[in-house]
Structure 1
Amino acid sequence: MDLPIDEIELLGRRVADPILGRRRAGVLLHITSLPGPACVGALGSNAYNFVDFLAAAGVSVWQMLPVNPTHGDGSPYQGISMHAGNPRLISLEPVLQAGWLDELPLEEGVLSDKGRSFALSLGWEGFKERASDEARSELEQFLAEQSGWLDDYALFQALRAEQGGAWWEWLPPLRDRDPLALAQARARLADQISFIRFEQYLFFSQWGRLKRYANERGVKLFGDVPIFVAHDSAEVWTHRSLFDLLPDGQLRVVAGVPPDYFSETGQRWGNPLYRWDMLEADGFAFWIERMRTQMMLFDLVRIDHFRGFEAYWEIPAVEQTAVNGRWVQAPGERLFAALYRAFPDLELVAEDLGIITPEVDALRRHYHLPGMKILQFAFSGDADNPYLPFNHTVDSVVYTGTHDNDTTLGWYRSLDDGLREYIDEYMGRSREAMPWPLIRCAFISCASLAVVPMQDLLGLGSECRMNTPGTTEGNWNWRFSWDQVESDLAERVRRRVVMFGRQVDL
């Protein structure tokens, strides 16, 4: 029998007031999808306005994608650092308000990445000249508290700019972290390193203010942690012995998933795989520190590709697709035991999509992690399809779709006539236009949390899809505008939140 989450005992302890111990509604929207003058959404006034919209709609969870710095393709699942915040998300508004920056260098009304970086560099000069004693003290405190990852990250980014290319292509003394070469680089690049550390101070201070604002209005921030890290990342360069690499830093094997409903050839992600024996020998300190950073940023966290903690798909690096791989066991039970010992109140959600074996499900249930139910997957197969609403359990998070799915309207339009007819009948031939019948279906579910992508609340089609798995072009770019938000949308959402018992009072 499935117990309500607030009655579940985790490893001999009780979470005093678990976020998912009551019915809630959430909206999925990445920070980059917010409106604003920059080329991506940022942590400025539009983020606060979005919190106000959620609060007015009775929505108490804001889910987003990973917020780490990204590579050129913009994928938040290929971060340059597992700790650092993406500088593209920094808002210049607070820098202006603090008096460290005089004006915005706008280019044709839109602030480009180059313009934003230039403005932040001016802000750093302004900070050094005009910052208050309080701000200087805050910066010093941040640098001291985060030095365990920040110093290596700042050096890594400065070297990337100087050396060009990926770290394994650098001069061998820098590639292999020769102490003398690193000391010389720190001296040579001291100005750039100081600026990069200042960027991170801005990101984390702005994030902290937004999180407090959201929490004060009853909105919890729901983050996302990729299981793997990017090959060209500060962590792989810094902790090379923890990854399955060749002596020169090149990949021996890579991560991915075998063929499934997303791709006939599987997905070759290209991330390096862990040397779990080395991670475990150190008490999983790498993962504990990673989760410590996430707990600074978020109230609860989704673990992406949860099945990889029980067994992961290992692909020889020479393979161009994910077809010719193999399953390799991982020490997931011991890892999560270490995480919960370090953080007794940690709240996680398992992304348990794809090929889920009884062993994977047993691992999730052992640690009482809610799993995911995707309604777009519910209407193929028969009555035992786990995504059908009557098969949901309380320890679940239900979605109309995720960032990897088409929008619900786009998905519905792509179906053949017979399947659309079946879905219409299942929904009771609702008088509401799609996607609202599926949103209603999510809210009715017994799952503790129901999450709806912002695209679905706005009734948008396939052109507004966030990501298409297995592709590298045209992803992660979607943004909404406030003129798409109808004046009564918050009230319409709130009525459904209240009707289906997902209202959470402050």
Structure 2
Amino acid sequence: MQSGELFKVRRAGILLHPTSLPHSIGNGDLGQQAFYFVDFLVSCGVSVWQMLPLSPPHGDLSPYQSQSVNAINPVLISLEKLIEHNWLTADDNPPHDQGEEAIRTYRFARLREAFAGFKQHATEEELQAFEQFKINHAHWLEDYALYRLLKSLHDNAGWTQWPAKYRDRKKTSIDALKKQHADEIGFYCFEQFAAFGQWLDLKKYSNEKGIYLFGDMPIFVAHDSVDVWASRKNFLLDKKGQPNVVAGVPPDYFSETGQLWGNPHYDWKYMQKDGFQWWLERFKTQQVLFDVIRIDHFRGFEACWAVPADEETAINGEWVKVPGAELFETLRQHIDLPLVAEDLGVITDEVTALREQFDLPGMKILQFAFDGGAGNPYLPHHHEPNSVVYTGTHDNNTTVGWFHELPSHAQQHVCSYVQCDPHDMPWALISSAFSSVARLAIIPMQDVLAADAAHRMNVPGTAEGNWRWRFDWNQLPDGVHDRIRQLAGFFDRK
């Protein structure tokens, strides 16, 4: 988990989730456009592609509240790549403007056709690869397939709402389910086989082109997930599987009642006694998929805000210490994957000490830099080399949107600091990121496009309309490749 080759030199990259890639049928996927994006990064003279978690979301599409920490979202599977394998026939009339739900239904129906085609046309080598995939991922794959099956059999209800024999994983009931629905379980395994295969093809292409893939790992998992259903002993739950305490953050300047996230808390005593096996398996999967991982809500590895599950707000919680140092020491001994700590918000000395103990880069967000005076730690003159600098993140407004929403005196302050005119946004802030001493600079694709607030990926605290943004290559400003490559050259980044 050391920084490795990635942080030995100054680098730059772009933040773009694969679902935001252009596509004629709904969301972006792992097809040819993903490979074009790698080529785009190469043409810009940068070497890092950062993205959000790849895991399958629930209906709100948030990749931070997923159904599995190990699985890949099946909507990322390229249908075109399945056709190339001869597992799927071409469709001359796919849907284009029939709405998001219709397109998702179409994609999943085509995946079922591909499974039938795979069983009929797969080569012996492909069949063996599928069997080997199931062996390699046995620690999570069958449970994930069972979870998907049971949700489909119970109108997508959460696992605590299933009949007790399934909720509590009674062996005779689960064995009967496996026998009765063997083909359906096989389909869900095939989805992951196809998704992992396409991802690893993309990763191989990226690495050969000198591009590192930078992933993201939420600290907590959704209560309605295979991870909690199949590993209840790792979480603080009652006999019916409901959380005893849930995660959140305490009241602060932004919220008088705090934030109540609702994720179940880990049973850290059990996890530590078990040698952190659940975490090791989770990290091993990410090590297969990525070259570096950002750990979301890193402060939660020092202490978590635990709120009784029956509370309506986060006010009546308490800080509970976590054996983060012991976990990261275990990871250091078994995992070779560079990590970045998302250390945003109110960070205590203890959290900083934990990050520094394991030499993990922190994050610097330039949109956070221009209030609080010259001592603001996000201002470039306070940056440190062992960090990653961003203009903004997936949770922020675009830089153009952020700047336009500032009052005029704040705009003047920003322009005075970065020595620019207002019309120079977002490039003045991008240049500040590239010039920072931080070893890695990441620019959201929206800022590369100079896109306004309408192009936000997520607005925290809202439940509708997030995680759906896509771009089109026609939005690229003229000469943007040269402009980024020139900045990378000026500031010794690649």
Which interval holds the TM-score relative to the shorter structure?
over 0.9
Matches within 5 A, 1:15-164: 17-104=4-91, 106-108=94-96, 112-164=103-155
The answer to which of 321-330 and 113-122 deviates more is: 321-330
What per-residue deviation string (whole Å, max 9, x for no partner) do you get for residues 381-433 of structure 1? Answer: 12221101000000000000001111111110111111111111111134862
Counterpart CA distance in 2 for 1:260 and 1:138 is 52
> Do 1:42 and 1:89's aligned partners in 2 also have CA atoms closer than 8 Å?
yes
Q: Give percent identity, aligned residues only.
A: 51
> Of residues 208, 211, 224 in structure 1, which corresponds to 2:216?
224
Q: Which residue of 2 aligns with 1:332?
A: 324
Q: Which residue of 2 aligns with 1:460?
A: 451
> Of residues 176, 180, 189 in structure 2, which corresponds to 1:184?
176
Shift in Å, 1:434: 0.5
Counterpart CA distance in 2 for 1:262 and 1:58 is 39
Unaligned 5+ residue runs, structure 1? 1-9
Counterpart CA distance in 1 for 2:313 and 2:401 is 28
Matches within 5 A, 1:332-351: 332-343=324-335, 345-351=336-342
1:404 aligns with 2:410: no
> Do 1:36 and 1:46's aligned partners in 2 also have CA atoms closer than 8 Å?
yes
1:367 aligns with 2:358: yes
> Do 1:263 and 1:470's aligned partners in 2 also have CA atoms closer than 8 Å?
no
Q: Which residue of 2 aligns with 1:301?
A: 293
Matched residue pairs, number? 489
Q: TM (normalized to structure 1)?
A: 0.94
1:491 aligns with 2:482: yes
1:258 aligns with 2:250: yes
1:424 aligns with 2:415: yes
> Do 1:26 and 1:451's aligned partners in 2 also have CA atoms closer than 8 Å?
yes
1:215 aligns with 2:207: yes
Counterpart CA distance in 2 for 1:290 and 1:251 is 21
> Do 1:223 and 1:300's aligned partners in 2 also have CA atoms closer than 8 Å?
yes
> Do 1:18 and 1:347's aligned partners in 2 also have CA atoms closer than 8 Å?
no
RMSD, matched Cα:
1.5
Shift in Å, 1:263: 4.3
**Secondary structure of 2:213 counterpart:** strand
> Do 1:254 and 1:270's aligned partners in 2 also have CA atoms closer than 8 Å?
yes
Counterpart CA distance in 2 for 1:470 and 1:255 is 15
Counterpart CA distance in 2 for 1:337 and 1:38 is 45
Counterpart CA distance in 2 for 1:180 and 1:154 is 17
The answer to which of 102-111 and 494-503 deviates more is: 102-111
**Secondary structure of 1:141 counterpart:** helix
Q: Which residue of 2 aligns with 1:6?
A: none
> Do 2:411 and 2:422's aligned partners in 1 also have CA atoms closer than 8 Å?
no
The answer to which of 314-323 and 467-476 deviates more is: 314-323
Unaligned 5+ residue runs, structure 2? none
Q: Which residue of 2 aligns with 1:270?
A: 262
Shift in Å, 1:264: 4.6
What per-residue deviation string (whole Å, max 9, x for no partner) do you get for residues 421-463 of structure 1? Answer: 1111111134862011000000000000000100011011111
Counterpart CA distance in 2 for 1:210 and 1:342 is 26
> Do 2:415 and 2:422's aligned partners in 1 also have CA atoms closer than 8 Å?
no
Structure 2 counterpart of 1:337, one-letter code: E
Counterpart CA distance in 1 for 2:74 and 2:450 is 31
Shift in Å, 1:211: 0.3
C-alpha change, 1:211 and 1:261, in structure 2 (3 Å) is farther
C-alpha change, 1:371 and 1:400, in structure 2 (3 Å) is same
What per-residue deviation string (whole Å, max 9, x for no partner) do you get for residues 226-250 of structure 1? Answer: 0011100001000111111121111
C-alpha change, 1:262 and 1:85, in structure 2 (3 Å) is farther
Shift in Å, 1:322: 2.4
Q: TM (normalized to structure 2)?
A: 0.96
Shift in Å, 1:134: 1.5
The answer to which of 461-470 and 399-408 deviates more is: 461-470
**Secondary structure of 1:270 counterpart:** strand
Q: Which residue of 1 aligns with 2:279?
A: 287
1:235 aligns with 2:223: no
Shift in Å, 1:279: 0.6
Shift in Å, 1:261: 5.9
**Secondary structure of 2:139 counterpart:** helix
Structure 1 counterpart of 2:125, one-letter code: E
> Do 2:25 and 2:96's aligned partners in 1 also have CA atoms closer than 8 Å?
no
Counterpart CA distance in 1 for 2:162 and 2:485 is 54
Q: Which residue of 1 aligns with 2:442?
A: 451
Shift in Å, 1:128: 0.7
**Secondary structure of 1:148 counterpart:** coil
Q: Which residue of 2 aligns with 1:5?
A: none
**Secondary structure of 2:424 counterpart:** coil
Counterpart CA distance in 2 for 1:194 and 1:37 is 29
1:168 aligns with 2:160: yes
Q: Which residue of 1 aligns with 2:464?
A: 473
> Do 1:443 and 1:496's aligned partners in 2 also have CA atoms closer than 8 Å?
yes
The answer to which of 488-497 and 425-434 deviates more is: 425-434
What per-residue deviation string (whole Å, max 9, x for no partner) do you get for residues 266-316 of structure 1? Answer: 322111110000111110000000000001110000000000000011122
C-alpha change, 1:46 and 1:260, in structure 2 (3 Å) is farther
Shift in Å, 1:472: 1.3
Shift in Å, 1:346: 2.1
> Do 1:221 and 1:299's aligned partners in 2 also have CA atoms closer than 8 Å?
yes
The answer to which of 167-176 and 247-256 deviates more is: 247-256
> Do 1:376 and 1:400's aligned partners in 2 also have CA atoms closer than 8 Å?
yes
What per-residue deviation string (whole Å, max 9, x for no partner) do you get for residues 299-352 of structure 1? Answer: 000000000000011122222332332211000000000001112x32000000
